[in-house]
Amino acid sequence: MFDLTGRTALITGSSRGLGFSIAEGLAQAGASLILNGSNPERLTTAATSLRTKGHTVHEAPFDVTDEAAVQAAFDRLDTQGIAVDILFNNAGIQLRRPLVDLNAADWRHVIETNLTSAFLVGREAARRMITRGRGGKIINTGSLTSAVARATTGPYTAAKGGIKMLTQAMTAEWAEHNIQVNAIGPGYMLTEMTQPLADDPKFDGWVKARTPSRRWGTPADLIGTAVYLSSSASDYVNGQIIYVDGGMLAVL
Ligand code: NDP
């Protein structure tokens, strides 16, 4: 039920961080991988490290915010005869700044990287899944901020709240094609994105005190949910967001 053998998964933003860990987890469950990032050198390093472990890995460097680049990347995959069965929209960025100090260009950049990207890549994947008629899995990446807000992360919070509803909008249109669209909402996980927070004793103490599990999450903590949402085990699960947060959202 959880076996992904014979399926191909595209994970955006998988050159490092949570995306890399999710990619490795899906490969361990049997999937072939298409890794993505905007920096081709970083991507090749990540792909090589997974190939040395025996996994099948293709590289698709493109900017997830660039509509033409996204379309060209899918056209290249078509030419190579590679079909995406599982799409993990994971690429994202954070920018911490009070709303009153934020300019519109920075607002747009955060919204485009975290939200519009899921539409652009999701649309290309779904068009092909619908044409092939074999269904598929799309997993979008939310956050605790899909449900609650925190000061200085305004555009990120708006984007991740949008991810929750985009997941439902995609479900409304694509579930009848046997495409299950769901989202994952990581809590505070230790990656390059959050390293500055973990290095700050005050913030680190707040996370541990505020999280019922009393610890930061690790990228490996996401793998079980990622495999579940990518596999036949979730074939009647549609439009949900699953928080993997050590219990943070469950308590005040
Ligand atoms: P990292 O900063 O560690 O990694 C981000 C990845 O996204 C990199 O592979 C980066 O590759 C890629 N990326 C960024 N911008 C683009 C772009 N325009 N086009 C293609 N790839 C891009 O982030 P995390 O692993 O921490 O976060 C991954 C996801 O999880 C994000 O959506 C984030 O919002 C979400 N999340 C993270 C949490 C955490 O605690 N870490 C908590 C909740 C949600 P490159 O540099 O080559 O572009």
Question: Is residue 71 predicted with pLDDT exceeding 90?
Answer: yes
Question: Is residue 193 predicted with pLDDT exceeding 90?
Answer: no
Tens-digit pLDDT profile for residues 199-210: 999 999 999 999
Question: Is residue 21 predicted with pLDDT exceeding 90?
Answer: yes
Kindly state the average pLDDT of the residues 18-32.
98
Tens-digit pLDDT profile for residues 89-120: 999 999 999 999 999 999 999 999 999 999 99
- Dist CA 181 CA 238 (whole Å): 6
Kindly state the average pLDDT of the residues 25-32.
98
Question: Is residue 162 predicted with pLDDT exceeding 90?
Answer: yes
Tens-digit pLDDT profile for residues 132-160: 999 999 999 999 999 999 999 999 999 99
- Dist CA 2 CA 5 (whole Å): 9
Give the type of residue at 79. T
Which atom of ligand 1 sits closest to the CA of residue 142? 44
Cβ of residue 38 lying under 6 Å from some atom of ligand 1: yes
Kindly state the average pLDDT of the residues 211-226.
97
> Hey, CA dihedral for 196, 209, 102, 147, is it positive or negative?
positive
Q: How confident is the model at residue 30 (pLDDT cuts 50, 70, 90)?
A: very high
Residues contacting 56, CB < 8 A, separation 6+: 27, 32, 33
> For residue 193, with 0-12 CB atoms within 10 Å meaning exposed, 13-18 middle and 19 or more buried, which class applies?
middle
Per-residue model confidence (pLDDT) at position 100: 98
Residue among 191, 215, 216, 245 whose CB has most ligand 1 atoms within 8 A, to mutate = 191
Q: What is the dihedral of CA 235, 240, 241, 243, to 10 degrees?
A: -70
Per-residue model confidence (pLDDT) at position 109: 98
Q: Which residue has the tokens 């929750």?
A: 164
Kindly state the average pLDDT of the residues 11-27.
97
Cβ of residue 219 lying under 6 Å from some atom of ligand 1: no
Q: How confident is the model at residue 186 (pLDDT cuts 50, 70, 90)?
A: very high
Which atom of ligand 1 sits closest to the CA of residue 66? 18
> Hey, CA dihedral for 44, 49, 52, 56, is it positive or negative?
negative
Cβ of residue 61 lying under 6 Å from some atom of ligand 1: no
Residue among 10, 59, 93, 248 whose CB has most ligand 1 atoms within 8 A, to mutate = 93
User: Could you tell me the CATH superfamily of domain 8-246?
Assistant: NAD(P)-binding Rossmann-like Domain (3.40.50.720)
Is residue 156 annotated as part of the catalytic site, yes or no? yes
Contact 238, 169 (CB under 8 A): no
Mean pLDDT for the chain overall: 98
pTM reported for the whole predicted model? 0.98
Each domain of the chain, given as residue ranges in start order, spans 8-246
Cα–ligand 1 centroid distance for 17 (angstroms): 7
Which atom of ligand 1 sits closest to the CA of residue 114? 32
